[in-house]
Structure 1
Amino acid sequence: MKATSDQIEVGFFGWVARVARVHQFGQHERVDKKEVIYQYPRRPLLGLNMLEWKLVRHSLLHHLQSS
């Protein structure tokens, strides 16, 4: 996490970022030193359903129209 007086940034870095990316997009990854590779299923860390996407879109458009 990185924060300033007017913004905040949250993310994954290093090894944690790689693990998050593999799970987010369902990629393959080596699971041991014997070079066994496993295809992970796609498991989004943050998922929005259609109603949530519509609410975000509506909120954003409302904000832009108000500016």
Structure 2
Amino acid sequence: MTNKLEALETWASGLLEQLQPGARNKLARSIAQDLRRSQQKRVQTQQNPDGSKFAPRKKRDLRGKQGRIRRKVEMFKKLRTATYMKARGASNAVTVGFTGRISRIARVHQYGLKDRAQRNAPQVQYDQREVLGFTDADLDLIRDGLIDYLSV
């Protein structure tokens, strides 16, 4: 995947140098938004960039109060919203990532680190779930966005 990304960067660098800074900013913002939408869809389907499913949640007791069963909520439902998943485009970079305290949660899941679920809870080893990552479709999306922008 890294080789494909480097090849795309090499191919696009010559074309991007010919654009004015304002046009580059506009192109970068539109590509960043497209990438964010792609990442949101992938997280909604609970898939890693390689196409494998996320590791399932650990089993929990879903009975809160007596007689009630809380419904299962899919992972990262709020995390994938535009409030938390930010897309930024500048003249020399496109970034899609998380800001603030939510970035810590995303990092723990992205790399499969140890963390506490609550303040005084024991540390738990989380399974790796790649919340952000490039797929082949994302690279095609970047290439197509660049071609569409230049052909207008």
State TM-score, norm by structure 2: 0.28
**Hey, what does 2:139 align to over in structure 1?**
56
Correspondent of 1:23 among 109, 122, 126: 109
Unaligned runs of 5+ in 2: 1-21, 30-87, 89-95, 148-152
Work out the CA distance in 1 between the residues paired with 2:99 and 2:132: 17
**How much does 1:33 deviate?**
2.4
Correspondent of 2:122 among 36, 40, 65: 36
Query: C-alpha deviations, 1:7-28, integer Å up to 9, x for none?
Result: 3313211111001100100001
Work out the CA distance in 1 between the residues paired with 2:114 and 2:129: 13
Q: List structure 1 runs of 4+ shifted beyond 4 angstroms.
A: none
**How much does 1:32 deviate?**
2.1
Work out the CA distance in 1 between the residues paired with 2:103 and 2:130: 13
Change (3 A) 1:46 1:21: same
**How much does 1:56 deviate?**
3.0
- Kindly report the root-mean-square deviation, in angstroms, between the aligned alpha carbons of the 2 structures: 2.7
Alignment-mate amino acid for residue 106 of structure 2: A
**Hey, what does 1:12 align to over in structure 2?**
98
Report how many residues are paired: 51
Work out the CA distance in 2 between the residues paired with 1:46 and 1:32: 24
Unaligned runs of 5+ in 1: none
Larger radius of gyration: 2
